[in-house]
Amino acid sequence: MNMTIVIDRNALIAAALAARERSYSPYSKFAVGAALLTSKGEVFTGCNVENCSYGLTICAERTAACTAVAAGRREFTALALALSGGGTPCGACRQFLAEFSPNLPIYIVDADAPGKIMETSLDVLLPGRFELPT
């Protein structure tokens, strides 16, 4: 049986805000949450996970993407990102997400003012992503 699960923008944003609550960020004290919607209507979430060896830190977006891929999902239809003051995904996360969904719609919510949503997309944020020559 084919089932379409409809997740609206607000539900995806709520999932990103909830994921942000689980951030492990004792060093930067900057909590980030991400929620990735798949083409099947499932939501995979992630938060940033820091380490005392600072460079090992993993961003929320990549945590969410790795969780989804490990569950066998590679088709993403939207990303919601929750962080204080708004802000856009870092360059590494842009390239990482573009591997799967180069045109991914992105909703960014200011965790301090959850009514403030910015809409953008990965093709706007990352023109000219790296690709291996064919």
Q: Which one from 42, 50, 61, 99 is the annotated catalytic residue?
A: 61
Closest approach of Cβ 71 to ligand THU, in Å? 20
Picking from 46, 65, 61, 55, the residue whose alpha carbon sits closest to that of residue 27 is 55
Task: Check residue 93 for interaction with ligand THU (CB under 6 A).
Answer: yes
Picking from 6, 60, 2, 14, the residue whose alpha carbon sits closest to that of residue 38 is 6
Helix residue spans in the chain (DSSP H): 9-20, 60-70, 91-98, 122-125
Q: Give the amino acid at 110.
A: D
Please identify, among the stretches 11-19, 28-36, 112-120, 125-133, the one whose residues bind ligand THU according to the rule CB under 6 A: 28-36
Let me know if 61 is a catalytic residue.
yes
Task: Check residue 45 for interaction with ligand THU (CB under 6 A).
Answer: no
Which helix (H) or strand (E) segment is 8 a member of? Answer: none
Dihedral sign for Cα 131, 127, 28, 9, please.
negative
Task: Check residue 98 for interaction with ligand THU (CB under 6 A).
Answer: no
Task: Check residue 61 for interaction with ligand THU (CB under 6 A).
Answer: yes
Task: Check residue 103 for interaction with ligand THU (CB under 6 A).
Answer: no
Q: Give the amino acid at 118.
A: M
# chain residues binding ligand THU, by CB under 6 A: 13
Chain contacts with ligand THU (rule: CB under 6 A)? 25, 28, 30, 32, 48, 50, 57, 59-61, 89-90, 93
